[in-house]
Structure 1
Amino acid sequence: MSLGLPPTPAASWTGVARSESALVVPAASAPPRVPFLGFQQVGNMSEWQKKTPLEWLTYMNKEVTVLAAEKHQYQGWVLTVDPVSANILLAHPLENGKMSISAVLGHAVQDVEIVAEAGDEMKEKLAHLFMPEERQRYSQEEVERKKTSLKDWLETNHIPVKEQGESQTLCVAGVLTIDPPYRAEDCHSSNEIILSRIQGLIQGYLARQQCQL
């Protein structure tokens, strides 16, 4: 079940530097999942782990300082907080313009202090950090136009649709999501019947758009 938090990307990493409270890796062009390698929580839940997903969401796109176990301290921009483990994924800008990624394990977090809020430029960098190159061909304005156009068309055809949190994902009837750039293949649902029907509708919608050009 989606809680409005960005997904953690999936793949394998090499050259991971480990500590008991965090894993730090350099970000590639499409950074994969940071492996948490079986760390276990011991004892009672921390105050950080007791927060709700909506509370964690308020830390998104914020620069924070994280105080962890054994007096470890980490600073970076919050990419996501895992809703199950409360692990924090941080992005830290490097001098060469790239980003390093660090994962602070939820059970080790003792305090999180917000340092700054991301401006438009930083928000765009963070949003594109895990985005496939194909999606990056579209500007923010193009993505917004495509989203608004499809959303309006679905509503005109009496299909319930809404935007999912602060992301650019559209949610149809609570059972299907459509990611940018909003093509049939960008639809995702566990309900194969609804998935097939919405994909067919979007293919027809895009075909009509092409005919009008």
Structure 2
Amino acid sequence: MDTWPLLGPLDWQHYVNKEVKVKAREQQQQHRGWLLTVDPVSASVVLLSFGEAGGASVRVVMGHADERTAELLRSAFLPRRSRSFGPEELRRRRESARRWLERNRVPVQEDGEALRVAGVLTVEPPYGPEDCSGSNEIILSRVQRLLQGNPEDDA
């Protein structure tokens, strides 16, 4: 339906919990499933499909995003492809990240292979901004910005 983004959230809710068929314009693919929810900002839909063996799959069909944006968003939900860093390079990157955080007066300690920041955030190998995880959004965003500005990080 080409008018889907024009309908709006009040109209979309009539389709929630119903079986629908969605045609993705850019890929010219059709997706069929039960509509779980619709993102009101992007007009993207979340479909649930049941397999014959009893399993289920969830698919997000992007609304107005172009293919580059869609790929970036999909990658957020898929396991990251681990870049191959040797043990020495990982050690160097961990030390660099730890020193940079300490220089910026951020409490950090090593916890096995990971760095533990202020007791609420973890930085996993290979120690870049995208490798941070934690529930405190403020600390998470500040540490990510700091790691982006690390002058020793050339990877």
Higher relative contact order (CA 8 A, sep 6+): 1
TM-score, L = length of structure 2: 0.45
TM-score (norm 1): 0.33
Larger Rg: 2
